Amino acid sequence: MVSQNQFEMAPIQGQLTLQLNTNTIPCQVDTTVVAPLVPGQPVKVVDSAGGQPKVIGAALDTDDIFGFVNYSIKDSAFPALAQLEISAFQDNVMYMTAGAAIARNASVEVVIASKKVVTAASGKRIVGRALDKALADGDLIRVVIMLPGALAP
């Protein structure tokens, strides 16, 4: 949570860093979403006609992840029909929460239940590479997003 009285900004899950984040896409939360989406949460696209891409939270480890919800200074959660930005495709750098110790430059996967990243296991979908070392569960680290499946037809 950001406080107006803090002296220095601390990184927040879902916040972008390293400034050149060109693969950010404006989207809308689908009408079927019950629990609001939160920054850093993995999402998938709903097959719908017209308008902006509609997204819902990824629910299964096997879901085709489209991207991750970007942090917004004005909204801490995004209910149904809300407008939001998603970091998708390649090369955006986002702060994400580690679910365990992670080595710098390790390939990471997302654990859908906890919305955290861990070192990728064999056969699991890689969503990025850790730019920072995580010493334990709960550490915020920078992750370079790598979602080649988002570009495939």
pLDDT in tens, 95-123: 999 999 999 999 999 999 999 999 999 88
For the chain, what are the domain ranges? Answer: 23-88, 91-150
Q: Looking at the domain 23-88, which fold is it?
A: Beta-clip (2.40.340)
pTM of the model: 0.84
| Eight-state DSSP code of residue 10 | P
Within a 13 Å sphere around the CA of 15, how many CA atoms are in the beta-carbon half?
13
CA-based nearest residue to 85, from 102, 68, 73, 98? 68
Residue 141 to residue 134: CA distance in whole angstroms: 6
Question: How far are the Cα atoms of 44, 72, 76, 82, 109 from residue 1, in angstroms, in the given order?
Answer: 25, 11, 8, 20, 25
pLDDT digits (tens, 9 = 90+) for 32-51: 999 999 999 999 999 988 88
